[in-house]
Structure 1
């Protein structure tokens, strides 16, 4: 890296399929013990935002609902999940990095289509701010050269700094000291990506979609200030989601969201039908 100082605050957004370990990644980044393994009850249903101090940097971590959740077949539920993701990303001037969380395994058509939905939500340029993070890394640790061979992932791979592996659950291969190194190595890779993007496009990701969502959030913040309530980020996110779901955000944003929801609904319906045939 050059002599440029790292960002004092890093906004990190976790995206991916339901059940691939986003919440466990968040707990690892926060330094929490993993109390439970994967379960339907631990699935994230709305954006969760927490912070932790690591050295001279503050990590702002946002966990998001998993995409392509076949338990959510109704349009309103799919729209709410997508609204959660957009609202969380728009907060605080946009993310420095998206962690595309995936299980280290043989990848399926479902993985590919989940990535397509995420790409649809964030649009062009998203890949420059994305680091592929594999979970269950105690069993398998893919290298960036391995990932470059996977057609739907290779656009995210720009060298070793754009892929990483985590083992979130204690196992014989990864103990507490090694788990800490996983986190410090990840933060180092994120800082390299941020510096590269600062020189190229800007340190944080943005898009027309997020800019419009940020305008709505500023309006909400002003409304909250007038009512003399506490305008926390969580309250602003919740109210933004309500506006999206109830279609009171106005054009062209409601049209953009509807297009994403329609795209996601088609993918969800496909996998619901496949599960019924089994």
Structure 2
């Protein structure tokens, strides 16, 4: 198999809506210069951390042969050409307990508060995309809503093993992706057939840079198509909380002043009026307490 043919198969920018030349002309300096946030998502041992290291060009994320080598999200920044990147590595929350998974997802929201330019759904080639993997898609939809697929690129890792199998058995990448044995047809449909094949074992820096540049070009084209990053609801809420927190403190202070004035008046009036004030004050204080507890419970349930 010719190397040129293999290279062309390793990147697919999805179903084109216009010619490649038009897409290239449409790119603007703004989309390239603004820092892009890229979130790595996938099953344990799919190669998320190794992929992050390949993009960064250095070893920042821990890669281990042991299960659950990534236990919490971590972000690192880099610049590739004129593109500034923030790479967020994440653990597989489908294998975590519910409480710890919720806490972890909250960290993701905080790390991607400004939005997600691309979600890289990492999958190891040679591993069948089973029902267990499809449950990962359900988790992704639950966390980010189905809209996130518009920002998703499938990163198929262990490309070196695929290349060897293709040469030995004589099949093409497209035949593998559409075969029933791979189970990848559902994934390809959801991400509009956007994918790259990655080899995270390249020792040649030039070879690694080439595959990274192919991915970054796909991310840039995706940003042009989506006209801005994916904004999740909690990210918007977190930014609003900075404003509303000061307003809440001011409201609480006014509430305390109001209750203080009631008690002051209560102890400076006649015994009969005093008993009425006490009853009214008790009702008001009870209402304030109920509203405060309800508000706190709502915020806790929202984040957890």
TM-score by length of 1: 0.67
Map 1:162-177 → 2, pairs under 5 A: 162-170=194-202, 175-177=204-206
Q: Residue in 2 aligned with 1:84?
A: 107
Q: 1:60 is paired with a residue of what secondary structure?
A: strand
Unaligned runs of 5+ in 2: 1-23, 164-171, 248-294
Deviations 1:218-270 (A, max 9, x none): 77899xxxxxxxxxxxxxxxxxxxxxxxxx9763x655555xxxxxxxxxxxx
**Equivalent in 175, 179, 192 of residue 221 of structure 2:** 192
- Residue 157 of structure 1 is matched in structure 2 by 191
Select 2:69's aligned residue among 22, 28, 43.
43
Deviation at 1:154, TM superposition (A): 3.0
The RMSD of aligned alpha carbons is 3.3
Q: Quote the offset at 1:27 in angstroms.
A: 0.9
Partner of 2:119: 98
Alpha-carbon separation, structure 2, partners of 1:15 and 1:213 = 22
Higher helix share: 2
Q: Which 4+ residue blocks in structure 1 deviate beyond 4 angstroms?
A: 33-37, 141-149, 217-222, 253-258
Q: In structure 2, how many angstroms separate the alpha carbons of the residues matched to 1:152 and 1:221?
A: 47
- Quick one: distance in 2 between partners of 1:11 and 1:220? 27
- Largest Rg, 1 or 2: 2
Q: Are the equivalent residues in 2 in contact too, given 1:12–1:59 (CA < 8 A)?
A: yes
Q: Which residue matches 1:179?
A: 208
Q: CA deviation at 1:147?
A: 4.3
**Aligned residue pair count:** 220
- Change in 2 beyond 3 A, CA 1:124/1:42: closer
Contact kept in structure 1, 2:50 and 2:61, CA below 8 Å:
no
Equivalent residue for 1:109? 131
Q: Is the CA contact 2:75–2:89 (under 8 Å) kept in the aligned structure 1?
A: yes
User: Kindly tell me: are residues 21 and 3 of structure 1, through their superposed partners in 2, closer, same or farther at Cα, counting changes over 3 Å?
Assistant: closer
User: Cα deviations across residues 9-62 of structure 1 (Å, max 9, x unaligned)?
Assistant: 211111111221111111111112599864237722222111111111111111
- Structure 1 segments unaligned to the other structure (5+ residues): 223-247, 259-278
Indicate how the Cα distance of structure 1 residues 81 and 109 shifts in structure 2: closer, same or farther if over 3 A, else same.
same
